[in-house]
């Protein structure tokens, strides 16, 4: 094997490895009480069981809203987000940014009061050989002064759609979608696990860091804890679909 062939093989392996491990993630961590642009990083499209790579054509993004699941790094109970962030909810803090780099059409998701809780993109085509970025703005909330939370980890449920199907069962298949969603019992998670879909139990994470200089932890908190807020199964079930498009 020539050096050139060896190099080509190495590059191919590296690309495949990168594709296999590159989840859809959040580009940057956020800081308490700072509003700034961020983005979803799309690492790859879909891959069929036969190994064919399929470009992404749509994406659905759900931030936690109604009755989210809460957990803490030390196992201590937290009854509601009101005890962690002044806003008491993540709804309304995310704003979609118009961008047609990946998807030619954009839609927003709102709760019953009209607060933005997510967004989607359709009519897209992400080249299988390149990465995608989907921008959004996030207004990072202020931590409750008495809370021991040092970080708030916001889990974001994302469906990266590559091929449309007829209904959920036909849509949630390898090569048709990657589901970066919590494994908490939604029909998407159940079907996704059964089909060995990429991303079940691996939602994207937006980390919000407390500004401990401006808003120090109470002395009784020690180093502080992480609080994780995750979209509920019901939230994912209702809001992950793109109306009229997917699944």
Partner 1 sequence: MMGLRTLASLAVAAVATTALAHTQDGTLGDTAASTDYYQITCSDDGSGVPASMMVQVQHRGPAAVPVSVVVHRGTAATATVDTVGGDTTPSPLVFVNGNDGVYNVFVTKAGGGPVNYTLSFHCMTGQNGGGLHTGTTIVFRQNQ
- How far, in Å, CA of 109 to CA of 78, rounded? 27
87 sits near partner 1 (criterion: CB under 8 A): yes
Query: Who contacts 168 (Cβ-Cβ below 8 Å, separation ≥6)?
Result: 187, 188, 191, 247
92 sits near partner 1 (criterion: CB under 8 A): yes
Find the shortest distance in angstroms from Cβ 87 to partner 1: 5
Find the shortest distance in angstroms from Cβ 115 to partner 1: 5
Residue 153 near residue 207, CB atoms below 8 Å: yes
Q: What 3-state DSSP class applies to 143?
A: strand
Tokens matching residue 137 = 């703005």
Q: Of 41 and 142, which CB lies nearer to partner 1 in the complex structure?
A: 142
Find the shortest distance in angstroms from Cβ 21 to partner 1: 33
114 sits near partner 1 (criterion: CB under 8 A): yes
142 sits near partner 1 (criterion: CB under 8 A): yes
34 sits near partner 1 (criterion: CB under 8 A): yes
Among 56, 61, 84, 93, binds partner 1 (CB under 8 A): 93
Applying CB under 8 A, the span of 97-105, 111-119, 148-156, 229-237 interacting with partner 1 comes to 111-119
**Between residue 208 and residue 227, which ones bind partner 1 under the rule CB under 8 A?**
214
Tokens matching residue 190 = 């159940």
- How far, in Å, CA of 204 to CA of 182, rounded? 9
139 sits near partner 1 (criterion: CB under 8 A): yes
4 sits near partner 1 (criterion: CB under 8 A): no
Find the shortest distance in angstroms from Cβ 152 to partner 1: 14
Q: Of 161 and 208, which CB lies nearer to partner 1 in the complex structure?
A: 208
End-to-end CA distance of the chain: 47
DSSP string, 184-239: SS-HHHHHHHHTT-TTBT--EEEEEE--TTTSPPPGGGTT-EEEEEE--HHHHHHH
Residue 184 near residue 235, CB atoms below 8 Å: no
89 sits near partner 1 (criterion: CB under 8 A): yes
| Interface with partner 1 (CB under 8 A) | 33-36, 86-89, 91-93, 95, 113-115, 139-142, 214
């Amino acid at each position: 094997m020539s050096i050139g062939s060896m190099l080509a093989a190495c590059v191919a392996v590296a690309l495949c490895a990168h594709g296999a491990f590159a989840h859809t993630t959040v580009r940057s961590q956020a800081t308490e009480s700072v509003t700034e642009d961020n983005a979803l990083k799309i690492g790859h499209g879909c891959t069929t069981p036969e190994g064919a790579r399929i470009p992404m054509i749509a994406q659905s993004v759900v931030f936690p809203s109604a009755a989210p699941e809460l957990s803490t790094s030390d196992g201590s109970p937290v009854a509601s987000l009101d005890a962690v962030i002044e806003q008491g909810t993540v709804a309304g803090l995310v704003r979609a940014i118009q961008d047609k780099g990946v998807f030619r059409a954009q839609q927003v998701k709102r709760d019953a009061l009209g607060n933005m809780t997510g967004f989607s993109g359709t009519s897209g085509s992400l080249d299988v050989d390149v990465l995608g970025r989907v921008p959004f703005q996030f207004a990072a909330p202020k931590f409750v002064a008495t809370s021991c939370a040092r970080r708030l980890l916001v889990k974001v449920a994302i469906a990266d759609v590559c091929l449309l199907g007829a209904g959920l069962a036909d849509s949630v298949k390898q090569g048709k979608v990657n589901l970066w969603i919590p494994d908490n019992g939604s029909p998407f998670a159940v079907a996704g696990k059964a089909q060995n879909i990429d991303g079940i139990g691996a939602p994207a994470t937006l980390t919000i860091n407390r500004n401990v200089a401006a808003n120090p932890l109470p002395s009784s908190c020690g180093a502080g804890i992480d609080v994780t807020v995750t979209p509920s199964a019901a939230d994912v079930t209702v809001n992950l679909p793109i109306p009229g498009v997917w699944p």
